Amino acid sequence: MEVCVDSVEGAITAQDGGAARVELCDNLFEGGTTPSAGTIALTRHHLQIDLNVIIRPRGGDFCYSEIEFEVMRRDIEEARRLGANGVVIGLLTPDGSIDIDRTRVLIDLARPLSVTFHRAFDVCRDPIAALETLIDLGVDRLLTSGQEASVLEGLDLISELVRRAGDRIIIMPGGGIREHHLPKILAVGVKEIHVSARSPVSSPMIHRNGRVSMGGELRLPEYERKTTDAARVRAFVENRDR
């Protein structure tokens, strides 16, 4: 079980709850972007389990400029230097295909770390062709919701991907998974799952100014945030082992 986290504290909580690996991100509101070097280093210091780091320079689409691609290359080098076990990448061409040339460059740069292709796959044009491309490139695992809003909605495609992939690549469902979904998801033959297991916690701030937001027009609560919940991680472990 891989738990997606956005802080050092979240990573420690995931480990304490029984996770086998964490995917470390920043900015989960936009689907996750590359965390800071300090966050990677301190997370590595506190973890005994595997640490994968997302390499994504911004939110939005997965078609990157030359400068953004250079940022990704440097971030992979830094993640490797700081002790990550794997990186998580996803690059597409404007027509919705896997960006083969750039993906190959990043894979070669990342080795010997493991490489996961993230949910950029879920907005690619042809999922079966994309699967074969990723296998040919030597990607270790594919994170996917089955090209739907949640894993349960995309379970038919996930099942097909598992069947086609065999032992050539790990298919790891992720997206909207709740604890009680696990038996149905595991029944299609997946060996790994990706969850967030977060719950809201209130800010410790006593003085509060509700008139001001530090975000844009779509305002998140300033005095509440979501963080990794050890009880939810343990619940996933318990449902997995039933």
Q: What is the pLDDT of residues 203-213, one digit of tens each?
A: 888 888 877 77
Q: Answer whether residue 222 shows pLDDT above 60.
A: no
Helix, strand, coil fractions of the chain, as percent rounded to 5: 40, 20, 40
Number of DSSP helices (H) and strands (E) in the chain, helices first: 8, 10
Decide if 213 is inside a domain. Answer: no
| Domain, as residue range, for 118 | 2-203+219-240
Query: Residue 198's beta-bridge partner residues?
Result: 228
Q: Which residue type is seen at 12?
A: I
Decide if 212 is inside a domain. Answer: no
Decide if 208 is inside a domain. Answer: no
129/95 Cα distance (integer angstroms) = 13
Q: In this predicted model, what pLDDT tens digit does every residue of 35-78 receive, in sequence order?
A: 999 999 999 999 999 999 999 999 999 999 999 999 999 999 99
Nearest to 136 by CA among 156, 107, 93, 174: 107
Decide if 65 is inside a domain. Answer: yes
Decide if 8 is inside a domain. Answer: yes
Q: Say which CATH number the domain at 150 has.
A: 3.20.20.380
Q: In this predicted model, what pLDDT tens digit does every residue of 132-172 receive, in sequence order?
A: 999 999 999 999 999 999 999 999 999 999 999 999 999 99
Strands 21-24 and 50-54: parallel
Q: In this predicted model, what pLDDT tens digit does every residue of 71-83 receive, in sequence order?
A: 999 999 999 999 9
52/1 Cα distance (integer angstroms) = 12
Q: What is the mean pLDDT of the chain?
A: 93
Q: What's the total number of domains in the chain?
A: 1
Decide if 10 is inside a domain. Answer: yes
Nearest to 233 by CA among 1, 53, 28, 7: 1
Decide if 82 is inside a domain. Answer: yes
Of 157 and 216, more confident:
157
Q: Which residue type is seen at 55?
A: I
Please report the pLDDT score of residue 217 as a whole number: 58
Residues 6+ apart with CB under 8 A from 91: 62, 63, 64, 69, 98, 99, 102, 103, 106, 120
Please report the pLDDT score of residue 199 as a whole number: 87
Please report the pLDDT score of residue 219 as a whole number: 58
Q: Answer whether residue 223 shows pLDDT above 60.
A: no
Decide if 210 is inside a domain. Answer: no
